[in-house]
Amino acid sequence: MPEIKNLEEKAELKDILSGFKKGCKKAGEEKVGIEFERLPISSINYKMVDYSKENGIYDLLRAFAKLDGWEYITDDYNIIGLKKGDDRITLEPGCQLELSLAPDKSISCIKNKIDNFNKKITPILRKYEINLLEYGISPVSTYKNINLIPKKRYRIMADYLWGILSDVMMRETAGIQACYDFVSEEDAIRKFRITNIISPFISAIFANSPIRGGVDTGYKTFRGLSWLNTDNERCSFMSRKLFDKKSGYGFEDYVEEVMKTPIIFIMRDEKPIEILGKLNFKEFMDYGFEGYRATTEDFKLHANLYFPDVRLRNFIEIRNHDCANHGMQYSVLAIYKALLYNKKALEDIERLMFEFTYNNLMEFRYNVPRNALNTKIGKYPAKDVAKNILKIAQNVLKENNEGEEYFLEPILELTPYGLSPADVILSNWNGNWNKDVSKMVKYLNTPNRY
């Protein structure tokens, strides 16, 4: 029998499940969270800015930390992010800069924090000629010309992920993740189910990555396409059991799904132990691996390397939105806040969505990247379903009387007409912009009127 190389307590299912249950909030205390990724591109040639080159992202992080009192987050002494209180600035594999804020009950407060962050970092961005582009994919540089940041896990992931567009996903794309609370296991599963079902529609509404490498890709969300071609074992759609409201699906079912996924690596003494799919987490718990035994921390890491459209943690993380601008980043938050934190809205959206079969949704999800709101689901145009989703959300936000229906206005200028942000870009790209990336960047940087 191989020697046990770590003395940490072995993972037990009950301990893993308790992590989910600890997420339950008291009714009325639910909050909204955002993880907002942006693309650092050169203000001169619009290429992605490198981590280590002069006036690159390493220099940017150091300068901003000194200016605004942030602490370093490091990996082998390399600065890979900053932290201040519960707020984080982290780097995705290709230097995409992600701002993660402490959750708040008010979308206005979240917007104010982002506005304040932008105001503080803008002088440094200008000095280094860096533009944080609010768009879903690198407009000029492609993955072959984008270096990975010096973070151990990203190198391992890049070598392991087997989908034909996994490098595109890792190095080129930027998205918005929206996070929401639940009050019980039953409430969590209900919200988890409905967010999975509507996620392809919301992807279509916010499609915003048609131009990549300086050309029209033929897709309205090439970012969405890249995720569909990253690793089907860990980027899957919801299970049929979750879709079935009568199945009794619960936290344990989700944990079992995660445990069936092959392990990429575990960490010991801050060093990665590469497993590279040789076994899944259930097998690791049962048999160990080369003398190592599974711990609860191993499961947390493994669950963070599981990338479905919607992820269940001690909150619900919805991950499938292209980065957006012109106020649409807050439209994402407002839609879900309305639908998930209002009993009648949940009932209304369930009635609307359960018109569709599981197979309808699977097919629709794969067609959205090319056509966005011009896709059909069953016999229905997606744009008509999307209009109904927004109508439910708008009614709730008006009834809440907190003024948050205002955050839907940017997307209400598009969705009712079957348009996504990508359609606006493509119309101009093939028209007034004459396929000029500089004009697209200028449009994307137009001050937000919302």
**Model pLDDT, residue 176:** 98
Q: Closest by alpha carbon to 42, among 441, 432, 399?
A: 441
Backbone phi, psi, residue 382, to 5°: -60, -35
Q: How far is CA 342 from the centre of its chain?
A: 23
**Model pLDDT, residue 162:** 93
What pLDDT band is residue 158 in, cutting at 50, 70 and 90?
A: very high
Q: Which residues contact 157 (CB under 8 A, 6 or more apart)?
A: 93, 170, 264, 305
**Model pLDDT, residue 448:** 73
**Model pLDDT, residue 9:** 72
What pLDDT, in 10s, does the model give residues 284-341? 999 999 999 999 999 999 999 999 999 999 999 999 999 999 999 999 999 999 999 9
Domain boundaries, the chain: 31-261+306-444
pTM: 0.96
- Average pLDDT value over all residues in the chain: 96
Average pLDDT over residues 207-213: 98
Backbone phi, psi, residue 179, to 5°: -125, 140
How many CB atoms lie under 10 A from the CB of residue 410? 21
What pLDDT, in 10s, does the model give residues 400-416? 999 999 999 999 999 99
Give Cα separations from 108 to 87, 105, 192, 195, 333 (angstroms).
17, 9, 25, 23, 11
Size (the chain), residues = 450
What pLDDT, in 10s, does the model give residues 123-149? 999 999 999 999 999 999 999 999 999
CATH architecture type of domain 31-261+306-444: 2-Layer Sandwich (3.30)
At residue 261, does pLDDT exceed 50?
Answer: yes
At residue 1, does pLDDT exceed 70?
Answer: no
Q: Which residues contact 238 (CB under 8 A, 6 or more apart)?
A: 193, 196, 197, 308, 309, 310
Q: Closest by alpha carbon to 105, among 16, 32, 177, 159?
A: 32
**Model pLDDT, residue 93:** 98
What pLDDT, in 10s, does the model give residues 16-72? 999 999 999 999 999 999 999 999 999 999 999 999 999 999 999 999 999 999 999
3-state secondary structure of 322: strand
3-state secondary structure of 275: coil
What pLDDT band is residue 11 in, cutting at 50, 70 and 90?
A: confident
3-state secondary structure of 111: helix
Q: Closest by alpha carbon to 267, among 307, 312, 297, 222?
A: 297
DSSP string, 50-106: PSSSTTSHHHHHHHHHHHHTPEEEEETTEEEEEEETTEEEEE-TTS-EEEE---BS-
DSSP string, 173-239: B-EEEEEE--SSHHHHHHHHHHHHHHHHHHHHHT--B-EETTEE-S-SBHHHHHHHTT-TTTSPPPP
What pLDDT band is residue 5 in, cutting at 50, 70 and 90?
A: low
